[in-house]
Amino acid sequence: MKRLIFLFTILFYIAPAVSETLVTPSFVIEITKNCMYAGIACDDVIYVGKSKKTGGSIKIRGKKIRNLCAEGTTSCKSSGYIFHNGKTSYSVFFTGELLVEQDGKILLNERGEWHDAMEKYFGIYEICKTEEVAGGITTEAAANAWIGSKVEVSKEVFSIRKIDIKNPIYSVVNTSVPHSEGNIMDSDESLFYGVADDREDSLIISVYKKVTDTKPYTKIEVIRKNVLLDLFDGRVYYFKRDSALCK
């Protein structure tokens, strides 16, 4: 039952600070979220940017960017963070884009990579198990038919269930896993579907089709180094590589 309680419940839980590092051609940027609750809204985010050229650094406080839902009034997702230093604004997007503007003029626009050793998750995986966690139209037989099929995670392509995304953009977030009964994490922060809940933290890899996307095509949760999972139509799909156990 615990595994079935998740998707449509909005959980707010006390969370520790979470840091991410973005490396662009010009800067090394550390983003730290100091919010009490996980979710789309977070108005206490710290930006520390260090210039690769001069070694100088800047520390400013900002917040998550809130994107409106289709109906135009409710915030339902976030595309990144925004920080203000006088008339200069720094926008850092989940896709790895850094945009610096002043008085409406673009001073810098460059793309980098989120560094959480993403390369160690690159490789060829095999779907080894499916598990129903919510309602969907995919039957058990149809889901199980994917078992044994390949999943590729690389710089050149992200491929799963016959969908190929060329030159994907990855965004990596590491955050804590709540352990109280029935708890899940907000979908903006994590997949955490109540599966593999013996972990202390949760590493989420968002996969974008292009740099301008505000919403990822899918999110992958790292169970351990050689075992990942994603959610598709109410079912979790586990995929593994090498000789790793499926779960």
Tokens encoding 95: 């896709």
Model pLDDT, residue 57: 93
Mean pLDDT within 187-198: 52
Percent of the chain scoring above 90 in pLDDT: 38
**Parallel, antiparallel or unpaired: strands 88-93 and 97-102:** antiparallel
Nearest-angstrom CA–CA distance, 150 and 128: 10
**First CA to last CA distance, the chain:** 19
Model pLDDT, residue 67: 75
Mean pLDDT within 35-41: 60
Mean pLDDT within 19-26: 86
At 63-94, the pLDDT tens digits run: 988 877 766 666 667 788 999 999 999 999 88
Cα 28 to its chain centre, rounded Å, is 19
Mean pLDDT within 210-220: 81
Task: Strand 113-114: give its sheet, edge to edge.
Answer: 105-111, 97-102, 88-93, 75-85, 57-68, 45-51, 27-33, 18-23, 113-114
Nearest-angstrom CA–CA distance, 44 and 208: 25
Pick the more confident residue, 35 or 157.
157
Tokens encoding 126: 């095999």
Residue 246 predicted with pLDDT over 60:
yes
Nearest to 34 by CA among 81, 88, 74, 72: 81
Nearest to 186 by CA among 168, 204, 199: 204
In the Cβ-directed half-sphere of 233, how many Cα atoms lie within 13 Å? 9
Q: Is residue 62 very low, low, confident or very high in pLDDT (cuts 50, 70, 90)?
A: very high
Model pLDDT, residue 169: 84
Residues near 190 by beta carbon (within 8 Å), at least 6 away in sequence: 38, 173, 175, 177, 202, 204, 221
Pick the more confident residue, 127 or 173.
127
Model pLDDT, residue 116: 60
Q: pTM of the entire structure?
A: 0.59
Choose the weakest-confidence range: 27-41, 86-100, 112-126, 212-226. Answer: 27-41
**3-state secondary structure at position 137:** coil
**3-state secondary structure at position 215:** coil
Residue spans of beta strands (DSSP E) within the chain: 18-23, 27-33, 45-51, 57-68, 75-85, 88-93, 97-102, 105-111, 113-114, 123-132, 150-153, 157-160, 163-166, 169-176, 201-208, 218-224, 227-232, 235-240
Mean pLDDT within 152-175: 87
Q: Is residue 18 very low, low, confident or very high in pLDDT (cuts 50, 70, 90)?
A: low
Q: Tally Cβ neighbours within 10 Å of residue 199.
A: 15
At 95-144, the pLDDT tens digits run: 889 999 999 899 999 988 877 657 788 999 999 999 988 878 999 999 99
Residue 43 predicted with pLDDT over 90:
no
For residue 15, the 8-state DSSP code is -
